Structures are given as C-alpha cells and as structure tokens.
Structure 1
Amino acid sequence: MKRKLVLEDGTVFLGDAFGSKKETIGEVVFNTSMSGYQEIISDPSNYGQIITFSYPLIGNYGINRDDFESIQPVIKGIIVKEACDTPSNWRSNLSLEEFMKQKDIPGISGIDTRMLTRLIREKGAMKGIICSAEEKTEAILNRLQATTFPGDEVKQVSSTKPFPSPGRGKNVVVVDFGLKNGILRELTERGCDITVVPFTTSAQDILTLRPDGILLSNGPGNPEHVAQVCKMIQEVQKEVPLFGIGLGHQLFAMANGSKVEKMHSGHRGTSYPVKDLATGKIIFTSQNHGFEVSEKSVDTNTLTITHRAVNGNSIEGLKHQKLPAFSVQYEPEASPGSEDAKVAFDQFMNIMDQQQERVEQHA
C-alpha cells in the first residue's frame, strides 16, 4: 500500500505504508541514533512528533519487554528508509511493525531519509502529514496549513495523580512533565524512595512530602506553555536540592530569569559531545530537544553555565550560584545512548548528602 509524506513547504515523498494505516499529522523531526529505536518511540518527550530515523535500517532487533520508556507511546508517526520485518535478537518479542499496529502508530518506509534529513537541517522542523497516496496534494496542504497544535503537550503525558516507587534511601519527589522510565531506574538503583507527582502540584504540596531532593523531569513541547510552574520552582529551590533534566532544565532556567528559544532543527540522537566546563572533560550524551536556553538571557549573577555542546556551543548545563540546584539539557539516564552522563545522578545524590549534613550541623 502506497502512502505519501507531505511537508508544509509542499515537498512530497512517496513511500510504502507500515504499522497503522491511519492518517497522522505532526512536527517532522529527525533522530540520528543508530540504535535505541524502541526507547525513542516510547519517549514521552516525542509527543506530537513524526520521527525520521536517519539511520537507514530500523527494526532489525525487534521489540522487547524491557526497553520501554513509557507504557503507551505518544509519538505521531515514524519515517524510515527500510523497516526490517525479520528481526533477529534473543530478547525480541515481536517485530517493529507488529508493535506499531498494536499501538496504532502509523509509519512510512521507502523514503529517502538522507534527503529528508538534509531538508529539515536546511529549513528547520516543520509540520507534515502521512496520508493516502491517492489524495490530491493541494487538498492535503490546505488541511495541513490549517492545522494548529494546542500547546498542551505536557498535560497529555504527565501523570494525573501522585504515585510512589518505594525505596529505603533518599526521599525524592519527581515532578512529571513527561517522565522517562530511565530516570526512575537510575534513582531506584541509588536506593531512592520516590514519589512521582503531576506537573500541576503546588510547592506547598511538594514540600509537605518532606523530600530530600526534587527532580524536574524531561517532557515535550515549548516550556513557555507550562511557564506557570516557574513559581513552584522558585519556592522549592530555596528549601530543597533540585535537579532538572531536559524540559526540567529549561524550566529551571526560566524560573531563574532566563528565556528559551526554539532551535532550528533540534538535537536528537545518542552521540552528542558535551564539554564539562569545570573539568574540560568531553562526555557523549543522548539528546532529544527542540528548544534551548537563550545564551544572552542568562543572569550570570544567579546562574553559572556548567556544560556546553561541542557542536554549536549551546548551553547544556546550569547551576545556581547560591542554592543547591542544577540542571542538564541532555538525557543522563542514557535510554538509549552513552552512559557517560549518568554521573549527574551521583552529583544529585552528593548535593542531597551535603544539604543533610548542613541541616544536622545547624540542628
């Protein structure tokens, strides 16, 4: 069955349908990862997006039960050069296409993904539609151009009620903006007693849980759409150590006077080099973001830039100069990707230990 991908600039790609056969509209972006497609497809940060995989073969090791980053994927669609229908891996439970049919995720294969990636790099991320090859392009463009996205991405993926992930160590409250399972895994491996709360939870309700630390999770969309949480961040960072990841990093920056801006085509992949400015060390990171903290907006009397992207020099890490609070733009949980950046969780644990020591000294 033939399908076509139509971009808002009028570019048309003809390909083959796989997965769900429904029509889908979303923001077309590209991801440069060579593996980890299961984690990428199930990452809540990809809500509203149609992901183009620049690596030419996707699906060769199938889908397994262990590597999901959320229970229900929220991705709008998948674009690949070639979709493998005969996966080979001892952990594989089903093929990529079988999984996509189960979860009602539409896809298109046979696309020149190299050309599409170059187009997005040149023109930036743009709206696109995967639909029947028989429909007239002019009618599709009219429908596509009339489509607007509501800006409620975080609401669509955040938890609606608090829930625990019990442990016997540090009491950590995770504010859920589109939480990846990998973050919970890293906290659990460090023995943390975790409570996940919706992004709408007030500072008072969070502090009532008497946390040793607060983590602001990753999530989708424009951080300005949830700017109301900045007041909560301003209040809790004065009381408890705080760690922001991805969208949480951007909101931490906004709460401390910085602004964010949309990137031309975003950073999405698993081998982005980042420099730790304190040590000069280069770490390879997993990234998935379409917005970044504006360099010129950072108040250097309040925040210190701790990490920078080697390619492009964008801000990849911040810390508060007076409070025990810091953030990273990249994904330290490494799901998928290099595990170089997992030390950020150890840093969070150390900051909580130091804060506890200060409290005990003043008791």
Structure 2
Amino acid sequence: MKALLLLENGMAFEGQGFGEPRDVLCEVVFNSAMCGYTELLTDPSYAGQGVVMTYPMIGNYGICYEDAEAGHPWVEAFIVHSVSGIASNFRCDIDLDGYLKSNRIPGISGIDTRALTRCLRESGTMRGMLCFGDQVDRDEMKRKIAAHVVPNGVSQVSIRKPRDYGNGSVKVALLDYGTKENIIRSLTRRGCTVRRFPNDTPFEEIKAWNPDGVMLSNGPGDPQACVKEIAELKRVYESGIPTFAICMGHQLMALSQGANTYKLKYGHRGINHPVKELKSNRVYITSQNHGYVVDAGTIDSSVAEVSYISMNDRSVEGLDYKNGRVFSVQFHPEACSGPLDTGFLFDRFMDLMGGGRV
C-alpha cells in the first residue's frame, strides 16, 4: 500500500506502507542507532513520536520480546529506508512488520531517510502526518498537522498502581515517568527490591515505604509541564534520601531546584553520543533519547555543579548536587540498547544507599 509522510514545513515523502495501515499525527524525530530497534520501539520516551531510523536497513533480526523495554511499543510511527524481508535470528519471536501490525503501529519505507534527516537537522523537529492509500488530501493533512498539539506523555506512560520487583535487601522507590525495564533490571541485579510508583505519587506515600533510595526514571515530553511532579521532587530533595535521576528525572530534579530547561533543535537520540566527565576528563559513549536539556546558565552553583557535558553541543549531561545525596544524568547508563560504559553509575547509587554492587 502506498503511504505519504507530510511535514509541517510542506516537505513530503512518498513510500510504501508497512505495519498497521492507520493514519497518524506525530512529532517526527530521528535516531542514529545502527541496531536496537526493539528497545527503541518499546521505549516509553518515544510516546507520541514518529521515529526516523538513519541506518538504511531495519528488521533483519526481527523482534525478540525479551529485549523489550515495555510490554508494547510506544512510538506513534516508524519511518525507515528499507525493511528487511527476512528476520534471521535464533531469538526472533516475530518479524518487524508482523509486530507492528499486532500493535497497530504504522510504518513507511522506501523513502530517502538521509534527506529527511537533513531536513530535521536544518529545520528542527517538526510535526508530521503519515497517511495511507493511493489518494490522500494533502490540504486536509496540512490542516490537521497545524492543529496538532504534541501531548505531554508522562501521565500516559506511567503505571497506575505501585508494583514490586526483586527481593533484595536494599529498597528503592522508582518514580515512573516512563521507565525502561532495564533500569529495574539494573537495580534488582544489584540486590534491590524496587517499588515502582506512579508519576504523581505524593511524597508521603513514598516516605511511608521507608526506601533506602529514590530512582527517577526517563520519560516523554516537556519536563516543565510536569508541575505536580516537580513539586513532589522538592520534598524528595529536602528529605536527604539518596536519589539517582536519569533523563526526564534529571530534568525534573533540576527544575525542582530552580534551574530551567529548553528544547533542543532536533534532540539527542542514538546509542553513539560522546559525553565527557568533567572531573576525570574522560569521554564515554552513551545511549540517549531526549529533546530537552537543562539550561547550564540557570543552575545555582551553590546547589549543583555540572558533572558531564555533551561533546557534540556542550549541553548539560549530568549534575552533582552539593548536598552529596543526589546526582543525575541526561543519558542512559542502563543503555539497552547501547554501550554499557556508564553502568558504574548504578554502583555509585548503591554506595550512597549503603548497599552492594555487581
């Protein structure tokens, strides 16, 4: 079936549809990873987004359910140059096309993803619409794109009731803004019992569980829209409970302490982003997925200091708070998929809580 991707700047890309033939509106972003599309599709941080893969062929190893970061995919649409006709992998549970169909996710292939990526780099992230069929009304598509508001997805992707994982001696309260499953696995593997709380859980409920530490997860959307969550994190910080924050959690903690955030032109999304640790002057290759960053000029030096920066654009990639009990990073140390260079940050968190490490 023919498919058309139209961007808000008027650029159009014609190709072949795959997955579920369903028209969707989305925010169009690109990811520079060469692999890991199962993890990408199921990352809740991609809620509401149509993801362009810069690597030309996708789907060659199929989908392995064990690699998923959530129970179902969260992307709004999947945009690729070429879909592999064969899924060659002894772990494969289903091919990519079948997986998208079973989860009602539309896709488009056969387009020039290099040109599309250049467009997004030059003009910035844009809203777009994917439509199926031989005859589409481009004027109607333009009207729908202009009216589309990218939703704040944290409340959409968070769980509704607390859920427990593991049976270790160290208790970690995980605030779920759209957590990836490997954050939980990284904690339980180190001997933690993890209680996953909904995004809007009051601090009193968290404190009543008497955790040894608090983990703040990744998630989608504009962090400044999370007004209630920011207010509760002020109380988490003031409590002195050891706290480790990743991605959205990193941004929300910074906002709770008076810093600001801003939207990047086209975001950081991929498994190949270099980040420098300022104290050691060492560079790590990291997995990233975010469209917003903390504004370095708004960080109170008496509250926190920048610990990591991006080697691509010098933006803030980590903060160490002066109370010695809270630290955060913009990238993903659990890195599924991606390099495991920064997994030691979970060990640092364990040390703060007085627990063990792997």
Q: Output the TM-score relative to the length of structure 2.
A: 0.97
Label 1:128 to 1:192 Cα distance change in 2 as closer, same or farther (>3 A): same
Q: Which residue of 2 aligns with 1:157?
A: 157
SS of equivalent residue, structure 1 residue 237: helix
Give 1:349 shift.
0.6
Structure 1 Cα separation of the partners of residues 258 and 60 of structure 2 = 46
Q: What secondary structure, in the 3-state scheme, does the structure 1 residue paired with 2:93 have? A: coil
The count of residues paired between Structure 1 and Structure 2 equals 353
What residue in structure 2 maps to residue 222 of structure 1?
A: 222
Distance 1:150 1:311 in 2: 28
Q: Does the aligned pair in 2 maintain the 1:237–1:323 contact within 8 Å?
A: no
Q: Which amino acid aligns with 1:80?
A: V
| Counterpart-to-counterpart distance in 2, 1:217 and 1:227 | 16
1:1-363 correspondence to structure 2 within 5 Å: 1-132=1-132, 133-151=134-152, 153-239=153-239, 240-353=241-354
Task: Tell me how far 1:92 sits from its aligned partner.
Answer: 0.8
Asked whether the equivalents of residues 85 and 96 of structure 1 are also in contact (C-alpha less than 8 Å), the reply is no
Mapped to 2, the partners of 1:241 and 1:77 lie a distance apart of 38
Q: Following TM superposition, by how much is the alpha carbon of 1:186 offset from its aligned partner in structure 2, in angstroms?
A: 0.2
Shift of 1:129: 0.6
Shift of 1:341: 1.1
C-alpha distance in 2 between matches for 1:169 and 1:315: 34
CA distances 1:310-359 after superposition (whole Å, capped 9, x unpaired):
111110000111240010000110111000011111111111119xxxxx
Unmatched 5+ residue regions in structure 1?
A: 355-363
**1:91: how far off?**
0.6
One-letter identity of the residue aligned with 2:189: E
Distance 1:206 1:215 in 2: 11
The amino acid that maps onto 1:277 is: L
Partner of 1:357: none
Deviations 1:2-59 (A, max 9, x none): 1100001110100000000000110000000000000000000000000000000000
Structure 2: which 5+ runs fail to align? none
Whole-angstrom CA distance in 2 between matches of 1:149 and 1:275 = 32
User: In the alignment, is the contact (CA less than 8 A) between 1:227 and 1:251 conserved in 2?
Assistant: no
Distance 1:320 1:176 in 2: 21
Shift of residue 73 of structure 1? 1.5
Alignment-mate amino acid for residue 212 of structure 2: D
Aligned to 1:360: none
1:234 aligned counterpart, secondary structure: helix
Amino acid at match of 2:276: K
For residues 118-143 of structure 1, the C-alpha deviation after alignment (integer angstroms, 9 at most, x for no partner) is 00000000001110341121221112
CA distance in 1 between partners of 2:151 and 2:312 (Å): 32
* Residue 291 of structure 1: how far off its partner (Å): 0.3
State the alpha-carbon separation in 1 of the partners of residues 340 and 71 from structure 2. 23
Q: TM-score, normalised by structure 1?
A: 0.96
Instruction: Answer with 201-210 or 142-151: which moved more.
Output: 142-151
Distance 2:95 2:6 in 1: 27
Distance 2:62 2:26 in 1: 25
* Runs of 4+, deviation exceeding 4 Å: none
When the two chains are superposed, the root-mean-square deviation of aligned CA atoms in Å is 1.0
Cα distance in 1, alignment partners of residues 146 and 28 from structure 2: 14
